[in-house]
Structure 1
């Protein structure tokens, strides 16, 4: 459903939301290790998310990535759109470039409902909502 880049972006942002605050900035190694992802890939993804204002970063010896009150309110839909654009929410299920209400693909009407449900779910879900589940280890960000 999500691209590999988007999957890593969501996992990294969830990890930062759980562990990274203004007084506890996280480095690339810590984030990559915490979600079992390649460091160079996470660095590129977080740089992209930082440029779009979804995560904050500070350079230097006490630097790293973190969230504040504003960025902590980021939704999963914000991350998906920043990384993959809106194709998940608007694209054709069969990948046709001209699928529309007027010229629908065979899956158009059914997939339209699914896209809307996914968009609503991701729009209404904030990063911070997962902190308690992660803390209690009811959910995980890497393979066990």
Structure 2
């Protein structure tokens, strides 16, 4: 069970938007990319996909940018992963075997499977906004960069 780089970036950026944007405060791809240390062109392509999948929202024009609407905030991390990679990647064998399930288990299937289900459950059951609130409440960080300076445009 591994996440692609694209999914990791999409999750980080959605959590960043949940913490720092609103329907009245939109953020550019460039600011988000710099804030979470992700290549801007790559993130721009991801954002097109996330907007099409209704995971994030965008507005064009001088006050445009990206943000999470109330509806977007209710999406889960699993929705992000499904939009970017599909869910097949999450169901892959831990050891990379092509056939691995309860009937044809790999040597570590029954050790890994409960943890995988627990992680998937958390990704499915928690909304993006709940994850963002937990990040803030517990003092976790998405990046080590100075977010306040980047979002204020200094």
Q: CA RMSD in A?
A: 2.0
What's the offset of the Cα at 1:143? 3.0
Q: Secondary structure, in 3 states, of the residue corresponding to 1:23?
A: coil
Which residue number in structure 2 is paired with residue 47 of structure 1?
Answer: 48
TM-score of the superposition, structure 2-length normalised? 0.83
TM-score of the superposition, structure 1-length normalised? 0.88
CA contact (8 A) 1:89 1:118 kept: no
Q: Structure 1, unaligned stretches of length 5 or more?
A: none
Q: For residues 118-144 of structure 1, give each alpha carbon's deviation from its aligned partner in whole angstroms, at most 9, with x where no partner exists.
A: 111111222212444555781111135
Which residue number in structure 1 is paired with residue 16 of structure 2?
Answer: 15
CA contact (8 A) 1:36 1:143 kept: no
Q: Structure 2, unaligned stretches of length 5 or more?
A: 146-154
Aligned partners of 1:132, 1:16: CA distance in 2, in Å?
12
Which residue number in structure 2 is paired with residue 128 of structure 1?
Answer: 129
CA contact (8 A) 2:23 2:67 kept: yes
Which residue number in structure 1 is paired with residue 152 of structure 2?
Answer: none
Runs of 4+ aligned residues of structure 1 deviating over 3 Å after TM superposition are: 130-137
Q: For residues 8-64 of structure 1, give each alpha carbon's deviation from its aligned partner in whole angstroms, at most 9, with x where no partner exists.
A: 111100111112211111111111122121111111111111111101112222211
